[in-house]
Chains A and B, each alone.
Chain A
C-alpha cells in the first residue's frame, strides 16, 4: 500500500537507501527498493515504468536544490556488454564535516594534521563570529529572500558548537521592517528564484513619476537592497534597455514557467551590480552625462559630519573649522534638495549658477509659508499649504 506515501517520505526512503553505499546503485535496484517507486515500477506496463523513472529524475533535481547531490555514474555490466546508469550519494557529499572550534591562541597554527583530517574542519572563534554576523545580516535584512537559507546555514554551522555560539543576537541588533514587508519578501523571493534560474519575469510596474501602471517583461540581472529598499536591476524588453525597478512598486511579479530548466537569457559579461550600489541621488545617470564640479562650504561642526560620512572631497579647511568640499554632480535637483535639507549649515560656494538655484529654492520655500500665513490670518489655514 503506497498510495499514502508522501513526497517527504519518498525522498527520505531514497536518501536512506542510497546514502553511504560504497558502490553506485543501478537504477533498477532503486526502483525496486524505494516503496513509492516500486509499486508502479514492477508492473509490466512500460509506460508506467517510464512515468516512475521521470518521477525519480524530478526527485533527483529537487533534492539537488536542497543540497542533496545524488551523483549519476555510468556503469558497464555483463563484462562490458551493457551500459547502465547508476547512482550514488556519498557520505562526503551528504554529511556536514565535524566543526572543531580552535582557541584564539591556536588560530595561527591549528592543532591538526596537514591537510585537515577528512570529515573535520577547524574554525577559530573569530571565524565563527564572522560567519554568525554574515548570516545574521542576510537573515535579518528586511524582506530578505534568503532568510530561510541563512537561518538554516547558521543552524548547521553551529551544530557542533556550544549554545553561546548558536544563540541569535536579537537583542543587540534589530532590523526594522517597513509596513508591508511580508508582501515585499514574497516578491523578492519570486524575483530571486527567477534570477538564479535565469527566467524572465513579468509584472505591473507603478511608475511613480508619471503615475502610470505599465506591464513589464524583464530579464533579472541582480537584486540590490539599498537605503532600506529592494531594487531589481534587469533588461526590460518592453524598453529594450537596462532598468532599475523598486520592488515596492511592482505588482505580482510572475516568472516564466515554461521550460523551467532552460535559462531564458544570459547575464552579460560586463554587468556588475556594484555599479548600482552606494550612489547618492545626484550621482545617478549615465557616464555620458555632463558632471558639474560643485564646491560646498560646510560650516563647523557640520564639516566634521561631512568628513565622517565622506560627503564630497575636502578642498580647503578654513581657520574656523569650516570646510570647502567638492562634489561631482550629475543630477542638480537632488543635489540642491540635499543641500537645502542641511538647514543652512552648508551652502554652495561655486559655481554661481548652482548657488543661485539654491537661493531660488529657498525663496520658493519661504513663499509657501508666507502664502499659508496670509491665508491663516484670513481664517483659512486648512486650505493653505502646498498646491493651495
Chain B
C-alpha cells in the first residue's frame, strides 16, 4: 500500500487530471503529464486507481465516472462531479501568501498594499476556509532590496524581449558605462542576482551582476534569443561566472577557514588541513575581492598577475589618503 504522502500526491494529481480531461475535447495525456510534471506512465497508473473502482463499486451509479482514452487523448465524463480543480489547500495558500509577501516587501508602498489586498482576496475566495496561512513563519530573502525596481524591470524586459539601457559599474573601471543589453535571462546564484544577455557594447553575451547595475531603462526595440542560448552554461558548481573567456585561478586557504570553504563546493586537499579551490573567473577582480575577504587566511597561488592584484589592493590601503587625513 502506498504511504500517506504518496497517496496524497496521487489524489492531488487525480483531482486535477479529472477536471482537465472533463473539458470539451479532453486532454492529450502528454500535455496533462507535462502540466503535472510527471510521466505519462505515472498518470496511466493514477487513472487505474479511478477505473478499478468499477470492480468493487456498485455499477451504474449516477455519480460514476466514465473515462475514455483514445490514443493519447483522455476524456472524462463525470456528470458534474470532479469537473473543477479543488480549492487551494492550506499549504498551497501558504506558498502563495509567502510569495506575495516577499513581492510586497520589495514593492513601493502603494503597490505593496495592492498585493496584500490581492492575497487577502484570494485567501477568502479561492482557498479552503481554515486557519490563516502562517506565511510569517517562513522568509524568502533574495537580497538586493534596494535593487528590486531594477530587477523587476529586467525581469519584465527578459519576458517581453525588450532591449535595455544599463548604467553598469565594473569594479575596476574609472566610471560607470552605458550599455545596451538584450537581457536573455535573470539568474540567481550563491545569494546574488545576475543578468545574462547580449551586450551591444562588447558585441557578445556577458553576465552582469545586478547589484552593479546603477540604472536601467527600457528601449523601444525587441530582440530574439538565439536558439542555442542556455543560461546554465554560465553556471558551474552553483556559481555564476561571467563569460566564455574565463580563466583558472588557484586559491589556497588556511586550516582556520577550510571548514567554511569546504561548504561552498569542490575543493582539493592541500596538506596540513589546508584546502585549495580552482575558480573559473572571467573577471579576476572577483577572485581578488573574494580572497581579500578572507584576510591572510586565503592566498592566490596562481597565476602571478592575480597575485599581484591582491598585493596591489592591500598596498593601496596602506597609502596615506589626503581626504581621509591619515594613514588608513
Contacts and interface: CB of A to CB of B under 8 A. Distances in A.
Contacts of A96: 84-88, 126
A355 interface: yes
Contact of A309 (B144, B184, B255): B144
B235 interface: yes
A113 interface: no
A20 B296 CA distance: 71
B263 interface: yes
A368 B49 contact: no
A387 B115 CA distance: 53
A151 B254 CA distance: 44
Task: Tell me which of A16, A65, A152, A196 has the highest count of chain B C-beta atoms within 10 A of its own C-beta.
Answer: A152
B114 to A, nearest CB: 8
Contacts of A368: 296, 299
Contacts, number: 412
Interface stretch (B1-9, B67-75, B198-206): B1-9
B242 interface: no
Contact of B8 (A66, A166, A222, A387): A66
Interface in B296-328: 296-299, 301, 307, 310-318, 321, 323-328
A72 interface: no
A152 B328 contact: no
Contact of B317 (A195, A278, A362): A362
Interface in B105-149: 115, 118, 121-122, 125-130, 134, 136-147
Contacts of B28: none
A265 interface: no
B50 to A, nearest CB: 7
A8 B49 contact: yes
Contact of B318 (A136, A176, A343, A359): A359
A173 B173 CA distance: 28
Interface string B61-103: 0010100000000000000111011111111111110111011
B14 A12 contact: yes
A158 B65 CA distance: 24
What band does the interface of chain B fall in when counting residues whose beta carbon is under 8 Å from A?
35 or more
B19 A152 contact: no
Interface string A193-211: 0011000000000001001
A2 B56 contact: yes
A381 B140 CA distance: 44
B191 interface: yes
B155 A172 contact: yes
Contacts of A157: 88, 96, 122, 126
Contact of B87 (A95, A145, A149, A363): A95
Interface in A323-380: 336-338, 340-345, 347-349, 352, 355, 358-359, 361-369, 372
Interface string A138-164: 110100011011111101110100000
A153 B139 contact: no
A153 B100 CA distance: 13
B257 to A, nearest CB: 8
Contact of B141 (A175, A278, A387): A278
A174 B232 contact: yes
Interface string A94-110: 11111100000000000
A304 B147 CA distance: 13
B57 A13 contact: yes
B252 interface: yes
B248 interface: no
Interface string B243-287: 000000000111110011001111000111110000000000100
B175 interface: yes
B139 A338 contact: no
A210 B89 CA distance: 43
Contact of B158 (A64, A172, A341, A347): A172
Given A150-B95, A340-B295, A344-B316, A9 B53 contact: yes
Given A224-B138, A338-B293, A95 B94 contact: no
Interface in A1-46: 1-2, 4-9, 11-13, 16-17, 19-20, 35
Contact of A8 (B14, B94, B173, B311): B14
Interface residues of A, number: 133
Nearest to B251: A385
Interface string A269-283: 000111011100000
A159 B126 CA distance: 13
Contacts of B139: 222-226, 273-274, 276-277
A225 B274 contact: no
A159 B299 contact: no
A290 interface: no
A121 interface: yes
Task: Tell me which of A131, A223, A383 has the highest count of chain B C-beta atoms within 10 A of its own C-beta.
Answer: A131
B11 interface: yes
Given A134-B102, A192-B138, A362-B317, A301 B328 contact: no
A384 B57 CA distance: 78
8 contacts: A6-B49, A8-B46, A134-B99, A138-B102, A149-B94, A196-B137, A336-B295, A344-B314
Interface of A: 1-2, 4-9, 11-13, 16-17, 19-20, 35, 62, 64-69, 93-99, 116, 121, 127, 130-131, 133-139, 141, 145-146, 148-153, 155-157, 159, 166, 169, 171-179, 192, 195-196, 208, 211, 221-229, 248-249, 267, 272-274, 276-278, 297, 300-302, 304-305, 308-310, 318, 322, 336-338, 340-345, 347-349, 352, 355, 358-359, 361-369, 372, 381, 383-388
Interface of B: 1-2, 4, 7-12, 14, 16, 19-20, 35-37, 46, 49-50, 52-53, 55-57, 63, 65, 80-82, 84-96, 98-100, 102-103, 115, 118, 121-122, 125-130, 134, 136-147, 155, 158-159, 169, 171-176, 184-192, 211-214, 225, 231-232, 235, 237-240, 252-256, 259-260, 263-266, 270-274, 285, 288-290, 292-299, 301, 307, 310-318, 321, 323-328
Pairs of residues from A and B, 4 with the lowest C-beta to C-beta distance, nearest first:
A67-B89, A134-B99, A344-B316, A386-B254
